[in-house]
Amino acid sequence: MIDEFEFSGKEAPFDPLGVMLFKALQVIAFLFFIALLAIKTHDDEGKVDPKLEFMITVSWPDKHPDDIDMFVQDPLGNIVWYRRRETGFMVLDRDDRGGLNDFIMVNGQKVRSPIRQEIVSLRGIVAGEYIVNIYHFAALTGQPVPVTVKVEKLNPKVQVVHYDTVNVDHGGAETTAVRFIMDKTGNVTEVNHDQTSLVQMLNKRYRERKAG
């Protein structure tokens, strides 16, 4: 009975056209697979997906000539600002100088940007208190400037933990826009507006380094 299932000894008639078609289909399938791999590799290489935990945005009226600066201090005492744009997990992604040299490139041409905005991103979690200060670097209009401050927690979903508007009214004015405390999981547990000067702190550190 086993002969009914023994096919190894039986040979079908040879069909050269069928063999050629089968080989051609194999080649096409292989080339298609290689193309898919190339496309996937290209997409992965061009993908930019930084892991951001928090984003702090400071903005003031479009086309305003005044220069507003943001200073942010983390729980370790690191301070990010326009002369130190990256420290710890903090990065100053955008330093806006108001009407001075505020351009973007469009099709190879410099175009004056109307947007007035500074952005600091937090790319990791350090538990403790963060301080966000606003400094009125250059007051060209002589008028108070409304500055909006927004703090967003980005993971696991976007959550606004602070949003408010403060007024700065003269060059050299500094104000603490917000202080917030986060735990080791990145949850904000407290928000307050207790005032402190980060500019004075930086000046003190500079004098101490110079003296030492």
Mean predicted confidence (pLDDT) in 15-27: 56
Phi, psi of 199 (to 5 degrees): -65, -45
- Find the DSSP H helices in the chain: 16-46, 198-211
- The residue among 70, 57, 131 whose CA lies nearest residue 97 is 70
pLDDT of the residue at 119: 96
Q: What is the percent of the chain with per-residue pLDDT over 70, rounded to a whole number?
A: 71
pTM for the model: 0.72
Q: How far is CA 15 from the centre of its chain?
A: 63
Residue 46 reports pLDDT greater than 60: no
pLDDT (tens digit, 9 = 90+) per residue, 175-208? 999 999 999 999 999 999 999 999 999 999 999 9
CB-CB contact of 121 with 55 (8 Å): yes
CB-CB contact of 133 with 80 (8 Å): no
DSSP assigned state of 196:
-
